[in-house]
């Protein structure tokens, strides 16, 4: 599975010439409400096996969690289901808050 840093993701999202990825946040709803990367969609990890059919297999999908472990697990599952463009956000929203958006609430 490919990995992306928060800074690399920020550059990608700022590049209007590049197709934008799906930002899939697999944290719990209370975590998603506390803070999130703009444009991300919530799909808590426990629901991924039942809801993965809502995603397109050929999209680039950046999976996001708090520190990068749950997103890695969700990414492994999606790859097993035949998804090819899975990318894990290294360090999760904690890295995003630290490296990209220091105004983002943390928990």
Q: How many CB atoms within 10 Å of residue 48?
A: 21
Exposure of 40 in the CB half-sphere (CA atoms within 13 A): 26
List, as one string, the DSSP characters of 71-95: HHHHHHHHHHTT---EEEETTHHHH
pLDDT digits (tens, 9 = 90+) for 60-106: 999 999 999 999 999 999 999 999 999 999 999 999 999 999 999 99
* Known active-site residue 35: no
Q: What's 105's DSSP letter?
A: -
Domains annotated for the chain, with CATH where assigned, are: 2-99 (3.40.250.10)
Assign 43 a pLDDT band (cuts: 50, 70, 90).
Answer: very high
pLDDT digits (tens, 9 = 90+) for 9-34: 999 999 999 999 999 999 999 999 99
Helices 92-99 & 6-14 angle (0-180, nearest 10): 70
pLDDT given at position 13: 98
Which of the following is catalytic: 65, 78, 89, 97?
65
């Amino acid at each position: 599975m490919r990995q992306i840093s928060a800074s690399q993701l920020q550059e990608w999202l700022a590049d209007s010439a590049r197709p934008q990825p799906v930002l899939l946040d697999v944290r719990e709803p209370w975590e998603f409400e506390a803070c999130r990367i703009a444009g991300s969609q919530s799909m808590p990890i426990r629901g991924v096996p039942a809801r993965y059919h809502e995603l397109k297999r050929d999209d680039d999908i950046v999976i996001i969690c708090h520190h990068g472990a749950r997103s890695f697990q969700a990414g492994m599952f999606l790859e097993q289901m035949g998804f090819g463009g899975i990318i894990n956000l290294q360090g999760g929203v904690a890295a995003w808050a630290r490296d990209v958006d220091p105004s983002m609430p943390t928990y």
